[in-house]
Amino acid sequence: MNTRSTPGRWFAAPVAVFMMLCFAAPILIVTWYSLMPSRTFGLTGDLTLENYRSAFTDGYGRPLMWSLMGAATTTVVTAILAWPTAVILHRYAGKWASVTSALIALPIFISESVRLFGMSVFLMPRGGILAGTLNAVFGIQIGSIMNTWAAAQFGMIYIHLPFMLFPLLLGISLIPADRIEAARDLGANRWQSFREIELPLAAPGLMIGALLTFVLCLGANAEAAILGGRAVTVITAAIEQRFNYAQDWPMGAALTVIVIAVTALIVLPVLSRLDLNKLTGR
């Protein structure tokens, strides 16, 4: 027996126990609950797949698709916005990079609901900052985008941009400046340098940012409730409705398991391709 490997196992034991109690056990309970008959409030009864059948036949597929589309759109848009921002912070901000990063991260420490209500004031058609500024400066009057999917999407991009920016900033820091200069000396244009050097080297940070943004957006509900006005029902709102208002816990559990499964199908293949040691410089 190799006694040198034993301490590592003991040190890992608390983490393993924590993951079993706080991660695996709740998922198993929710999965078991999803197999109970409708409107059952216990874990005993005849197992059935009726809740899963109802999830795809009673109109719950549409909220799931809206959630997936919103998460995918937010991920793409935040990546497009975060890339030039990260490049500027890393290469050109200099001593102001830390201050700028702190200002970008500061809203994370403020309640999400408070920020979204502030955004609703910004988007109000009358008395709102956006409408008032456009009317006063340019004489342009705009209708309200409040209580629409566009408003909810705008809020998701606003809330989740930092979760894309900071991992991407870490990824861009892995790009050696001399490689970019060498590529340009060899005749590579800006697009070729980006495609062949910058994007592959920054890919770990980009993928982590994309995963964080996508998973958080998939479970987002406040944006649709506060800015979207429930114009579009997302899957998390449907789950909340089944648990709280309809008192149909097995159906809510089935929807939860479906969301977990969809998330795992998307996240696990990406995680398997990530080299975290490279990203952390180990």
Ordered per-residue pLDDT tens for the chain, 282 residues: 455 556 777 878 888 888 888 889 999 999 998 999 887 777 777 888 999 999 888 888 889 999 999 999 999 999 999 999 998 888 887 778 788 888 888 888 888 888 888 888 777 766 566 666 666 666 555 666 778 888 889 899 999 999 999 999 988 888 888 888 888 878 888 888 888 888 888 888 899 999 999 999 998 888 888 888 777 788 999 999 898 888 888 999 999 999 999 999 988 888 887 766 655 555
Domain assignment present for residue 9? The answer is: no
Domain assignment present for residue 19? The answer is: no
CATH number at residue 169: 1.10.3720.10
Domain assignment present for residue 181? The answer is: yes
Q: Which domain holds residue 75?
A: 30-47+58-279
Domain assignment present for residue 269? The answer is: yes
- Tell me the C-alpha distance between 10 and 219, whole Å: 35
Domain assignment present for residue 176? The answer is: yes
Residue-level pLDDT at 97: 78
Half-sphere exposure of 262 (CA within 13 A, CB side): 18
DSSP string, 192-251: HHIIIIIHHHHHHHHHHHHHHHHHHHHT--HHHHHTSTTSS--HHHHHHIIIIIS--HHH
44 contacts 257 by C-beta, under 8 angstroms: no
Half-sphere exposure of 103 (CA within 13 A, CB side): 6
Residue-level pLDDT at 1: 45
**Residues contacting 128, CB < 8 A, separation 6+:** 121, 122
Domain assignment present for residue 72? The answer is: yes
- Tell me the C-alpha distance between 129 and 138, whole Å: 14
How many domains does the structure of the chain reveal?
1
- Tell me the C-alpha distance between 10 and 17, whole Å: 11
- Tell me the C-alpha distance between 207 and 220, whole Å: 20
Domain assignment present for residue 87? The answer is: yes
Domain assignment present for residue 3? The answer is: no
Report residue 156 CA to chain centroid gap.
9
